[in-house]
Each structure stands twice: as C-alpha cells, then as structure tokens.
Amino acid sequence: MNKWAEGIVERVYTRWKDKYAESCKSGFKVFYSPVRQNPQIMIIGYNPGGLENSFMSYKEKLERGDFSVPIKHEYLIKDYRLAKKMRNFFDKKEQLLEESIKINLIFFRSKNIREWKKIEKSKRIEIEGFCFDLVKEIIMQSKPKMILIEGISTYKKLRKILGFEGSSVVTNGSQRCYVTEWMGIKLFAMPHPTGSRIKQHDWEEIKELFHNNLALLDNQRS
C-alpha cells in the first residue's frame, strides 16, 4: 500500500514539475496521514492552504527522490485551527482519527479558494481533472468504510466526480449536512469545521449525527 501511495506522490510531483509549477507556485501535498486499506474513515477536504514557503521543506524532500507518505496523522501532531477542530470532532475516539486517511480533492496549495480560482480557467480545469482522477483512484484502492467530507463545497465537487445523489440532514440551528452512499461506501458531509457560522450547539449536533451514522455502519457490518 505504501509503495502504491509513493507512486501517487511521484506522479503528482512529476506533473507539477513538468506542467503546473508556474500556475501552482505554492506546491502540493497528497497525503496527510499514513495510508492503509479498508480504513474505517477517509477524510476529504478541498485543497491545502498556505503559501510558497509552506512547500519549501517538502519540495526539498521530493527533489531528493523521497516520495514517502507521513508516518503520523497530521491532525494529531499539528496545532493549526482545522487540526484542533478535527481532534475535537473525534473527541474521545482518537484512535479512529489516527487510523483515518486524510487527503484533499485538489492537491495543489493556495491561500484560499478565491486565490485558487484566480488561476486561468482552462488551466485550472485541467489541474483539477488530474487531481480528481487520482482522488477516485485513491478511494477505490483504499476502500474506506466511510468518507467524512470537510465542507459543503467539497461535497458538491465530490458529487460531480463520483456521480452520487445525497439527502440532507438539517440541524436545529439550520446547519446542513449530507448523508449518502456510493459503491458501498457511506459518505457524511458537514459544513467546514472552521466555518464562523457554526454555533457550539450545532457543532455538537453535527458530531452526534456523524457518530450515530458511524455506529449504524458498524451495526450493519457486525
């Protein structure tokens, strides 16, 4: 599994170096965790945040021919806002987070989505298409039991890539989540964890919805 994942990283690096370095100066990252087959959960975000200097040390590693994937889950060892929120989301189930795979729909880094959309449209569509094909390959190869989707924008993009329909679940505070299934994999989409509009009672309700769906999945398989 690691050999295959390293091959994915090498393919992205080669494509970035040969075709996308000028458009995506801030570089890329594919995996934010160890990889494994049949994880309980795969987490999918939109794209990596950050600037060109965020890529420097990783770029040096890639230039040495080191395409290895992380040995620890970034959400457990970093203290940026999203990592902290996701640790809170998994609450007392740290092992569940530790054993999850984390990727993004788009591997290439930008300061924010607005900045990403400044890339010339035809080039951006080409780059996204390249990423989406690999995301689908990663899902099919790893076969997670559930995909946790960070953000409704991410969910809508993933829906187009995979071609599924979803039903929404609305919390008491009007925060919308989506629950559906694709190829035997349960999908749970929530508002982006760092969104300013999520009130604490909504956040707790979203957590409960997720963990209830996870428990239901476990019961179906037992």
Q: How many CB atoms lie within 10 A of CB 121?
A: 9
Kindly report, residue by residue over 90-147, the tens digit of the pLDDT. 987 889 999 999 999 999 999 888 889 999 999 999 999 999 999 999 999 999 999 9
Question: CA-to-CA distance for 79 and 76, rounded, in angstroms?
Answer: 8
pLDDT at 62 over 70: yes
Q: Where are the domains of the chain?
A: 29-51+71-221
- Pinpoint the alpha helices (H) of the chain: 2-15, 56-63, 74-77, 81-90, 94-98, 113-116, 121-142, 152-162, 200-221
Fold assignment, 29-51+71-221: Uracil-DNA Glycosylase, subunit E (3.40.470)
Residue 52 main-chain phi, psi, to 5 deg: -60, -40
